[in-house]
A and B are shown apart, each in its own frame.
Chain A
């Protein structure tokens, strides 16, 4: 088995996959706690469907990189959803459900009508559940991921204390003069970036799992914010790496395997949390 892995690691694309997988796992878990506690997880879900729709448009237009269209569209949708949520004109949940279902339907339709490939359902499946595409990733996309991950991590560290304040008690922060609107926007934009990055790894249906699971797992065993953030990134990276290894060795689908590992760790953490009590 070790030998088998050694031969695999001689190929650059396997190395790329591990670099990209680790970075995406790290970034996606950073904001998990915030997402769960601010009740933003549904926004994450909605955005991933929007990203799917944008991806479909991208493949119809034969863009050189789908990121050119998915990134701006998803960020735009994140901003809109957040504003909508605050103005309360349209009920937040309903708006998100509408947008997300519409993007799914439109995306699927576009791919069906305009696809040049013979295997449409294969393509759709790939976009929804991720694919082996992480193993065919180009060096250009590796750099793209590295650059954006660096931005996400840096922003998170610099604004760590503000993100904590706005997540724990938005009204208190606002009453003492913190620009909470701005930080909510910042959080939404980071979520959008993470979702677009994560789609490469696990596909648009499973990306929410990558964001939410590590945070929920860590919250079972640790009871302070910093600890939860650190443990959830460790868990996430561990699950991504082990999931990738398993999927290479056992030829299982990459995204689903990683999410299955996340699920497994969640049950382990639940058990540990129950034992501690």
Chain B
């Protein structure tokens, strides 16, 4: 089992709605694996099962070969799993820098400190600021996260996820609602990320998916109807019928 992240026979239903059915999925080191499918296919649910927010009805999850099916969210994070959310999820009353600094603090594993102020503390703030620079939002460092525009918040979320130095990153529609200039920047950032972290990318923007993905899995009603390199998936008649549309121009 060499994959960074692997799911075997994952299944989850909400009443009659099947959100995942007998799903196998891997993310290898150095790859971007895209998970696509129509609305309600179960993509977010699958990310929840992998991150530990949801319990599967059946199936198992492995992180670097180690079974984590029953491990809580925070333990999987310690083992190298990071994620961003479909609806932006930051700490609204914290400043941008503080949002990332607390993510660095989580990685450092030294939070039972009661006396010394958490800020200023270069051991937290310097790595945090470096990440903001890398994502091009360092000018916003002192702004409360609640006041960010949508696209800026997505970048902040990514910075927070990266601050924990994950081995695998689960991204839920990072480009949704982001302006085209910022989307461009995000795509470039993600492309460069490939070298340091495996990515499972859920995304509706097909241009971005086909530019970034090394492998694509197509999910419909919780089932993987196709999985493989972009060129193969693009040509798959089932996929064209179910999702891409018959003329496949999106």
* Binding partners A and B: no
Binding site for A on B (CB under 8 A): none
Binding site for B on A (CB under 8 A): none
